[in-house]
Amino acid sequence: MPEIILFGFIFLLILGAYWALVVYPKQRDFQKRQRYVSTLNPGEEVITYGGIIGKVIEVEAEKGVAHVEISDGVIVRFVTAALMQAYNPEALAHSAQQAVERRPPTE
């Protein structure tokens, strides 16, 4: 009987660790993206998870779809969950510069 209690306790610890290290951070990121998407307005520039940069034309919140212009006259429908963040060229340039500086020298 004590072995079953010990096994149950260890199992609960493992489940708790899994939730804390895997599930909770994903839930938090998803909620953060949902808050971001709910604040989108036409005219804002966004980056998708595929790395595409475009301008929001329309957001159909009830359908979970955003119409994004990726080039002059080219409008693509995206699932709102695929819109990652606002496009900030300075922040992207800074991140790229840091990556170049950290790269080991090649011979």
- State how far the Cα of 87 lies from the Cα of 107, in Å rounded to an integer: 35
Where would I find the H helices in the chain? 2-18, 24-38, 89-102
Structure confidence at residue 107 as a pLDDT band (50, 70, 90): low
Residue in the block written with tokens 């955003």: 66
Q: Are residues 18 and 69 in the same domain?
A: no
What is the per-residue pLDDT for 14?
93
Does pLDDT of 36 surpass 90?
A: no
Residue-number span of the structural domain to which 65 is assigned? 41-107
Q: Are residues 73 and 32 in the same domain?
A: no
Q: Are residues 35 and 62 in the same domain?
A: no
What's the number of domains the chain is made of?
2
pLDDT, tens digit (0-9, with 9 covering 90-100), for 51-90 = 999 999 999 888 989 999 999 999 999 998 888 888 988 8
Q: Going by DSSP bridges, is the β-strand pair 83-86/65-71 parallel, antiparallel, or unpaired?
A: unpaired
Q: Are residues 34 and 67 in the same domain?
A: no
Structure confidence at residue 100 as a pLDDT band (50, 70, 90): confident
- State how far the Cα of 103 lies from the Cα of 88, in Å rounded to an integer: 23
Q: Are residues 45 and 34 in the same domain?
A: no
Q: Report the DSSP beta bridge partners of residue 86.
A: 46
